[in-house]
Amino acid sequence: MKKKNMPEKWQKEADAIKAVQVAFDLGEEIQAVIRREALEMGLNPSDRVREILGLPVSRRTVRPRLSISLTPDDFVQLAGDYKLNSADKVGLKREAAQVLIDYVEKNRS
């Protein structure tokens, strides 16, 4: 199917496929400043970098979230901590989220 015959949503996705990820090896202080600015502005760090470089930034609403990568051993450890089955990913995620909420509420300045 040629791009002009694709639905508009698919055309945008086809353009996105052509994008190339670029990583910048910058010092910790530079990265910290950019990350802090992004946080204060409600942006993700890559959008802040795009702004600094004068590139267009999509202003769509981004769901604020934190993410980490978990290994199978991590799931086993969390399951033991929360007394759940390691296959209960939803339950583990729910319990871990509550730990993070409790942590922030306890440590607010």
How distant is the alpha carbon of residue 79 from its chain centre?
24
Q: Is the dihedral of CA 22, 45, 67, 42 positive or negative?
A: negative
Q: How far apart are CA 103 and CA 33, in angstroms?
A: 24
Q: Taking residues 50-76, report their average pLDDT.
A: 85
Interval 16-43: pLDDT, tens = 677 787 888 889 999 999 999 999 998 8
Per the listing, tokens 């496929």 go with 17
Confidence of residue 96 (pLDDT cuts 50, 70, 90): very high
What pTM value is reported for the model? 0.57
Confidence (pLDDT) at 99:
96
Q: What is the mean pLDDT of residues 58-85?
A: 87
With the CA atoms of 26, 32, 34 and 40 taken in that order, what torsion angle do they form, in degrees rounded to the nearest 10?
Answer: 170
Average model confidence (pLDDT) across the chain: 86
Stretch 70-89: mean pLDDT: 96
Query: Which residues lie closer than 8 Å to 101 by C-beta, 6 or more apart?
Result: none
Assess whether pLDDT exceeds 80 at residue 104: yes
